[in-house]
Amino acid sequence: MVGSMNLRALRGDVSVLELARRSGVARNTITALERGDGNPTLDTLYALADALGVPLAALLERTPASVVVRAGEGVHVEGAALDAHLIDRFERPGVFGELYAIRFHVGEVRSAPPHPFGVEERLHVHEGRVRVGPADAVVELGPGDYASYSGSVPHVYEALEEASGTLLILTGRSSR
C-alpha cells in the first residue's frame, strides 16, 4: 500500500488537482490515497511517481511516525576547523538536504571551495561565536543567530571561540 504521508509530502505545494492533471489519476483517488484508503494499481502508482519525478519506491516506503537521533549518533566527519555528525538526509522533488550537528574549533579556519551551483547553507548557532559565509561577505554569529548563504561560492567557517550549531545544506535539483 502507498505510504499516505509519503504521497502528501512528495506532492509538496503541488495541488491535488494539478497532480491529477499531470498524472491522469483521478483527484478523488489521490485524495483517498493520501488518507490511507484505497488499493492502487501498479499503473496508478507509476503514473503518480512519474508525475512527481520520483522513483516508485518513494511512494511505497512507509514514513515512520517519528525519527529519533540520539546525541553523537550519525555519520561523523572531522576536520581541523570543525567536526560534524550527519543527523538526517532527505530528498523531495527539486531538493536534496543534509542536516548536521556541527562543532567549530578555535584557531582553525576552513576555507571551503564552492559546491555545485544552487547549493545553499543555513547555519543556526547554539553556543559560541563564529564567522561564516561567502569569503567576500563573512558575517559574525553568536548564540541564537542564524545565517543563510550561498554554498556555491568560496565560503568560510571560523570559530572565534568554541562553538556549536546546526547546519542545513540544501541542493536544488531540477525535476524530470
Angle between helices 27-35 and 4-11 (to 10 degrees): 120
pLDDT of residue 144: 97
Confidence band (pLDDT; 50, 70, 90) for 174?
very low
Average pLDDT over all residues of the chain: 86
Instruction: For residue 90, give the C-alpha cell.
Output: 532527505
pLDDT of residue 175: 40
Q: Where in the chain is the domain with CATH 1.10.260.40?
A: 4-60
pLDDT, tens digit (0-9, with 9 covering 90-100), for 91-101:
776 788 899 99
Tell me how far CA of residue 157 lies from CA of 20, 128, 139, 141, 175, in angstroms: 45, 13, 10, 11, 31
For residues 169 and 49, give the distance between their C-alpha atoms in angstroms, rounded to a whole number: 25
pLDDT of residue 43: 82
CATH architecture of 76-172: Sandwich (2.60)
pLDDT of residue 76: 83
Q: Is 170 left (phi over 0), alpha (psi -120 to 50) or beta?
A: beta
Query: ∠ CA(171), CA(159), CA(75), 5° rounding?
Result: 50
Q: What three-state secondary structure class fits 149?
A: strand
Class of domain 4-60: mainly alpha
pLDDT, tens digit (0-9, with 9 covering 90-100), for 42-78:
788 888 988 988 877 777 766 666 778 888 787 888 8
pLDDT, tens digit (0-9, with 9 covering 90-100), for 133-158:
999 999 999 999 999 999 999 999 99
Q: Where in the chain is the domain with CATH 2.60.120.10?
A: 76-172
